[in-house]
Structure 1
Amino acid sequence: MNLFSQASSFSSEPLASRMRPRTLEEYVGQDHILGEGRLLRRAIRADQLSSLIFYGPPGTGKTTLAQVIANSTASRFVSMNAVLSGVKDLREAIEDARQSQEYYDKRTILFVDEVHRWNKSQQDALLPWVEKGTIILIGATTENPYFEVNKALVSRSRVFQLLGLTEENLRQIVTQTLQDKQRGYGKWQVEFEPDALDHLVRVASGDARSLLNALQLAVETTPESFPPPANSRIHITLSAAEESIQQKAVLYDKEGDYHFDTISAFIKSLRGSDPDAALYWMARMVRAGEDPRYIFRRMLISASEDVGMADPYALGVVEAAASAFDRVGLPEGQFHLTQATLYLATCPKSNSSLAFFDALEAVAKEEAEVPNHLRDSSRDEHSFGHGKGYKYPHAFRDHWVAQQYLPGTLKGRIFYQPTGQGYEGSIQTQVIRHREEQLDRMLEETPETLSFSPGDKERDRWIRRVQGTSSSRKKLLKALVEPMQIGRSDRIFLAPLRWNQLFWELFRKVPEGGLTALADQEDYRNLVEFSMESLPESERPLLVDRSLKDPRWLEHPDLQPLTWEHIVLDGVLDQQDELFPQILEEKLAPKGWFTGCLPLPGAGSRLSELLKGRVEDKLLSRIEEGEELFYTERAPYPQKERMENLADLTLVEWTQLPIEESLVPNAQWLAPWFKDLPGSWFNYVSRNLGEDEIRRIRALLQPEKLPSSFPWTRNWLIYRLRKSAT
């Protein structure tokens, strides 16, 4: 059975079926996986798909996306519904796929809707054929595939999560439908009363199928008979819109993702002291039919885990509310749910009760003996002295006395750390004071230390070795990339390609997105292209042979349709006195990031430092004057104020990163400094020196006259800007 077979007449099909997009260009929404330049879009266009699983709520376009693939691929495309198809159908599809590959060298794409509905044996039957490449699986499911789909199938597939469509997406779908004369209602003049369309879009709640079904009902029941004559006016009232769409059922089941995600959001809202959010998530659970006793159970846990000693009454309040609910029941019991929720959301918080798990860990590591003075004295005090030396706290002032209660091997071990929140804050000082007195007493009882164990020499040596081999570039790479907040499906633009480590690190961060780089230098481009040969063409980064110096580089056809969530500028900041962030701002997605690094030669070590103590102070001063002029004119420090005044871009970071390394001087490193050319270091320094002084400086800065190695600091500027949301 083919899910995508078309009826002989569109009129017999539901509108949602007629309006299914046929191409990527007609597909609306899911820009996070299908936006221009993203991996999935490139793979569909290139017809180079691997096995895929589409996961998301109903009406978000999973089956539609499969149909788009069916319309664009040259492979055999077979579709099945896991609810209607059994093992027999699956075996027939596999056999056909095997023959197609064997006799015609043609691969088969098998689309399975509701793939989670197949049992384990049915899913297992697919595995060897997916593994051999006989079948490329495309599965669609509303359930989390990591729980409901065979783990071996998931591990061999790319999982793409589809999100509920935005209101803007839904309005775009309505517009397409009202303009399409063949499949939609473009033959008639469909108009909406104020708020009528808003109501349909709002209640559809991200579900395109629900919206189109409602639109069909509203449009086709408004005229006395349908279809009316061409160009007739169809006026949709608010009441017609309300009657055409029912309130959407809350997507919630007691065993699936939405159940666990919603209760997780509820508990985290309580923990985060947000009463509004807590009430919202609780209301969603109650409306979906969740058992209030389950909600109370989770609140009882939260009262001890998240509130604990900050408000010891919280547990009593929740327990009392749960008990009252058992007596009252629904619907009035919702007041008790609400009271408990608001109490937990607004009271002070402390998770100090987690100290128990530290104690549990200590118990697991060592079974320590009970100290002698704490043992039961009623049975063998006279024989073994059990209980001897115990001090009865009630016999002392304030009913407390300092003595050791922990086993000897755990002396001084601290598990409970009282916070300063609520009630716990009032006892914090007392707990700490008692602990200090107990520690003093333990120190008095500790025997003389007769030996000392040094640290782990092997471990220290390993740390030194690792630290010693950590290159300066790795430190810069970490500082540049780690804070970038890169999503797996983000698109990144790197300019220019000068640093392979940075290129591949960015590529690894976006397995479902895409990386584009300006690669104008042949050596760098060839090296990267050689490394990419083993990748499928659709998964390769995009290299564009253009230079930033070319004023028309942005007009390159591969770059024109693209926007990026991240733009990374390596070693460049401006062009002809115009900042690159300003030039590229229109290519950056809303809320996107500019990240850049720039060497600051004048802020790091200087060559004149190697002459200190080796020449007279007056001569050194003249050398330093020429050197300062060289850095001021040839490598001016970037102006932070210019970055702060860019429209639609906010400067978030402007940081200097000093990186020290050990340099071994050689003729190759020194040669550029001494080039006798306008603009060189030597050209600036020699302006204040005589011939004899110049010869002397040259001699002193020869490799054989310098230390075998010396510390050299390079400073880098790291800057980040963020684009506004609109």
Structure 2
Amino acid sequence: MQPLADRLRPRTLDEVAGQQHLIGASGVLRKIVESGVIPNMVFYGPPGIGKTTVANIISQVTSRRLYRLNGTTASIGDVKAIVDELDTFLTPDGALLYLDEIQYFNKKQQQTLLSHMENGKLTLIASTTENPYFYIYPAVLSRLTVFEFKPLKKEDVESVVLRAFDTLRGESGESFVLEQGVAGYLAAACAGDVRKAVGAAELAWLTCPPEDGQRRITLAACEAVAQRSSMRYDRDGDSHFDLLSALHKSIRGSDPDAAVHYLARLLLADDLPSVCRRLLAIASEDVGLAWPQAVSIVKSCVDSALQLGMPEARLPLTEAALLLATAPKSNSALMAIERAIADIQAGRIGDVPDHLKDGHYAGAEKLGHAVGYRYPHDFEHHYTPQQYLPDELKGAHYYDYGPNKFEQANKNYWDEIKKKHR
């Protein structure tokens, strides 16, 4: 028997849960489907949210012969077999290829499709769980329209879960009763993945045997079959970088609650190294000179976490995340180094001034190296003006003091000293 998720698969766009930004009444994808003119497309989004279902529905409105391939198993031979049937009586109106998991196709496999996509004889509908801008080669991607499918809302998945139980009742002839919170739990635990939620509902049905012709679907049974399924995470995939990005931006935005949320998701995925590295980067990139001590404190928290291991590591890491989120912010160091790097990459380098060059060797004085250098510690306030930048960059400005207490105190200190030498 087919899995319940396949038996419940929608047959029209109106039956598809969610994705209203694409297939709602004013959705661009709905309008394309209704026009009957299907362009080359790629559907991008996490698993179990309707990409394959929508592709199946689209295939029904075209007169072209439908072929299906999966990037995990297909070869160039499979692609060539389809190409060989173009311009034959088998495909008088051309072919429609649905290629699932296109990210597993290598460059040569993807390029095999190119010329036939260009002349219109082959229409490609691809799907991928990974960012197409990273995994599809530019020449192929430029001929595809990208549609992003979003994770479903809890209420959308909950309605499908209830329909799954109704279907099981109809197929078995047995009545059922759901313990309070069952549908909501399955919808939330499966994090917007309809296929996973329906599969969990079917397993819960099977693990709750009927009593007097009625099945009582308990919350405990659902927790057993859906455990940790809400963790959509792949250390090599989009979710890895999206969660790290969200953690970083939440801390940069001084939102401690969001910072702890994303930290918890990363820690539950056992991604300790990535968290430690990112927190260390944030300390210098976003707190920076507004509170220089943050770097050493975060380093201590990271060292403690790595020594403790999970689950205790979550405590010092949470301290570090909250400290950074609530600390004053400055990106003055980041901006300074980026400006300097930009000058260097543009060729604005210049020779080191002779008086700054190394003079600790015989013959340096004859070359004029270190001659005329003034040792700042010999002067009042340990400062004396002299040229440090190369001649070509004389007067270049990279660092702006940030508008925070620490940097402004430094600015006032040096302004008072330097104005005496103007």
What corresponds to 1:647 in structure 2? none
Structure 1 window deviating more from structure 2 (25-34 vs 183-192): it is 183-192
Q: Does residue 199 in structure 1 map to residue 177 in structure 2? A: no
Find the aligned partners of 2:105 and 2:341 in 1 and give their Cα distance: 42
Cα distance 1:362–1:162, how it changes in 2: closer, same or farther (>3 A)? Answer: closer
Worse overlay, 408-417 or 110-119 = 408-417
| Other-structure match for 2:75 | 86
Aligned partners of 1:33 and 1:41 also within 8 Å? yes
Q: Map Cα deviations across residues 611-638 of structure 1 (whole Å, 9 max, x no partner).
A: xxxxxxxxxxxxxxxxxxxxxxxxxxxx
Pairwise mapping of residues 676-691 of structure 1 onto structure 2 (< 5 A)?
Answer: none
8 Å Cα contact 1:177-1:186 kept in structure 2: no
Contact 1:15-1:184 at 8 Å conserved across structures:
no
- Correspondence for 1:394: 377
CA distance in 2, matches of 1:59, 1:46: 26
2:328 aligned partner, one-letter code = P
In the alignment, structure 1 residue 254 sits paired with structure 2 residue 235: yes
Distance of aligned partners of 1:328 and 1:245 in 2 relative to their CA distance in 1, 3 Å threshold = closer
1:166 CA drift (Å)? 0.7
**How far has the Cα of 1:302 moved from its partner?**
2.2
| Letter in structure 2 aligned against 1:13 | Q
Residue in 2 aligned with 1:282? 263
**Cα gap change, 1:74/1:367 in structure 2, threshold over 3 Å: closer, same or farther?**
closer
The one-letter amino acid paired with 2:311 is P
1:142 deviates by: 0.9
1:135 maps to what in 2? 122
Instruction: Give the 5 Å matches for 1:603-642.
Output: none
- Does residue 368 in structure 1 map to residue 354 in structure 2? no
Q: CA deviation at 1:397?
A: 2.6
Residues 244, 303 of structure 1: CA spacing in aligned structure 2 closer, same or farther, 3 A cutoff?
closer
Matched, 1:65 2:49: no
Q: Which residue of 2 aligns with 1:35?
A: 24
| Paired residue type of 2:342 | E
Deviation at 1:91, TM superposition (A): 2.2
Q: For the structure 1 residues 429 and 87, does the alpha-carbon distance in structure 2 shift closer, same or farther, using more than 3 Å as the test?
A: same
Identify if the C-alpha distance between structure 1 residues 184 and 116 changes in structure 2 by more than 3 Å, giving closer, same or farther.
farther
Counterpart Cα distance in 1 of 2:354 and 2:207: 88
Give 1:475-554 correspondences, 5 Å limit. none
Question: What residue number does 1:241 align with?
Answer: 222
**Residue 110 in structure 1 maps to residue 97 in structure 2:** yes
- 2:250 maps to which residue? 269
What's the C-alpha RMSD, in Å, of the aligned pairs? Answer: 2.9
Q: Following TM superposition, by how much is the alpha carbon of 1:18 offset from its aligned partner in structure 2, in angstroms?
A: 0.4
Q: Distance in 2 between matches of 1:86 and 1:368?
A: 54
Residues 270-291 of structure 1 deviation map (CA, whole Å, 9 limit, x = unaligned): 222222222222222222232x
Structure 1 residues 315-334: aligned runs within 5 Å: 315-334=295-314
Q: Aligned partners of 1:179, 1:66: CA distance in 2, in Å?
A: 26
Whether 1:44 and 2:33 are equivalent positions in the alignment is: yes
The residue type equivalent to 1:135 in the other structure is L
Cα distance in 2 for residues equivalent to 1:177 and 1:99: 43
Distance 1:316 1:113, change over 3 A: same
CA distance in 1, matches of 2:36, 2:217: 42
2 CA distance for matches of 1:337 and 1:224? Answer: 47
Which of 66, 70, 74 aligns to 2:63? It is 74
Q: CA deviation at 1:234?
A: 4.3
| d(CA) in 1 for partners of 2:325, 2:51 | 38
Q: Provide, for residues 88-136 of structure 1, a one-character-per-residue CA deviation record: whole Å limited to 9, x for no partner.
A: 3322222223314xx7631211111222222332222222222221211
**Alpha-carbon distance in 2 for matches of 1:415, 1:51:** 47
Specify which of 389, 402, 411 is matched with residue 406 of structure 1: 389
User: Is residue 2:11 matched to residue 1:25?
Assistant: no
1:26: Cα distance to partner? 1.5
SS in structure 2 at match of 1:307: helix
Q: Which amino acid aligns with 2:152?
A: L
Letter in 2 for 1:420: P
Distance 2:236 2:55 in 1: 27
Tell me how far 1:140 sits from its aligned partner. 1.4
The answer for the alignment partner of 2:289 in structure 1 is: 309
1:246–1:373 distance in 2 versus 1, CA, 3 Å: closer
Q: Supply the distance in 2 between the matched residues of 1:303 and 1:121 (Cα, whole angstroms).
A: 43
Residue deviations 1:172-230, cap 9 Å, x none? Answer: 3234445669x9669665432221222122212111111111222333454439xx9xx
Contact residue 165 and residue 201 of structure 2 kept, 8 A: no
Name the SS of the counterpart of 2:402 in structure 1: coil
Please, which moves more after superposition, 191-200 or 391-400? Answer: 391-400
- Give the C-alpha shift of residue 31 in structure 1: 0.6
Which of 74, 95, 107 matches 2:84? Answer: 95
The question of 1:418 aligning with 2:418 is answered no
Q: Is 2:328 the counterpart of 1:341? A: no
C-alpha distance in 1 between matches for 2:359 and 2:104: 65
**Structure 2 equivalent of residue 13 of structure 1:** 2
1:218 counterpart = 2:198? no
1:404–1:28 Cα change, 3 Å:
same
* Equivalences for residues 148-159 of structure 1 within 5 A: 148-159=135-146
- After superposition, the Cα gap between the structure-2 partners of 1:269 and 1:18, relative to the gap in structure 1 and judged at 3 Å, is same
Asked whether the equivalents of residues 186 and 197 of structure 2 are also in contact (C-alpha less than 8 Å), the reply is yes
Which amino acid in 2 is paired with 1:216? E
- One-letter code aligned to 1:418: Y
Aligned residues: 419
Instruction: Report the Cα distance in structure 1 between the residues aligned to 2:53 and 2:377, rounded to whole angstroms.
Output: 76
Deviation at 1:163, TM superposition (A): 1.0
For 2:316 and 2:146, the matched residues in 1 are separated by 42
1:32, CA displacement in angstroms? Answer: 0.9
Q: Secondary structure at the match of 2:48?
A: coil
Matched, 1:296 2:290: no
- Give aligned-pair identity as a percent: 37
1:452 paired residue number:
none
CA distance in 2, matches of 1:424, 1:190: 67
Q: Which runs of 5+ in 1 are unaligned?
A: 1-11, 441-726
Q: Which moved more, 1:396-405 or 1:150-159?
A: 396-405
* Contact residue 79 and residue 111 of structure 1 kept, 8 A: yes
Q: CA deviation at 1:419?
A: 1.1
Whether the aligned pair in 1 keeps the contact of 2:164 and 2:201 (CA below 8 Å) is no
Distance in 2, Cα, partners of 1:320 & 1:87:
52
How far apart are residue 137 of structure 1 and its match? 0.8
Tell me the TM-score normalized by structure 1: 0.53
- Counterpart amino acid of residue 42 in structure 2: I
Once the two structures are TM-superposed, the CA of residue 431 in structure 1 deviates from its matched residue by 3.1
Is the partner of 1:191 in helix, strand or coil?
strand
Letter in 2 for 1:193: E
Cα distance in structure 1, aligned partners of 2:307 and 2:29: 55
SS of residue paired to 1:350:
coil
8 Å contact kept, 2:349–2:393: no
What is the alpha-carbon distance in structure 2 between the residues aligned to residue 242 and residue 383 of structure 1?
Answer: 81
Q: Which has the larger radius of gyration?
A: 1
Would you say the 8 A contact 1:200–1:241 is kept in 2? yes
> For the residues of structure 1 that align with 2:234 and 2:327, how far apart are their CA atoms?
30
Contact between 2:155 and 2:187, CA under 8 Å: does it hold in 1? no
Q: 2 CA distance for matches of 1:85 and 1:376?
A: 63
- Paired residue for 1:125? 112
1:572 aligned partner = none
**Alpha carbons of 1:377 and 1:210: their partners in 2 closer, same or farther (altered >3 Å)?**
closer
User: What secondary structure sits across from 2:125 in the alignment?
Assistant: strand
Q: Which has the higher strand share?
A: 1
Distance 1:283 1:90, change over 3 A: same
Worse overlay, 215-224 or 250-259? 215-224
Distance 1:260 1:334 in 2: 20
Offset at residue 169 of structure 1 (A): 1.1
SS at match of 1:160: strand
Q: Residue 327 and residue 194 in structure 1: after superposition, are their counterparts in 2 closer, same or farther (change >3 A)?
A: closer
Note the C-alpha offset of 1:150: 2.8
In structure 2, the CA distance between the partners of 1:320 and 1:215, relative to structure 1 (3 Å rule), is closer
2:210 is paired with a residue whose SS is: coil
Residue ranges of structure 2 left out of the alignment (5+ in a row):
none
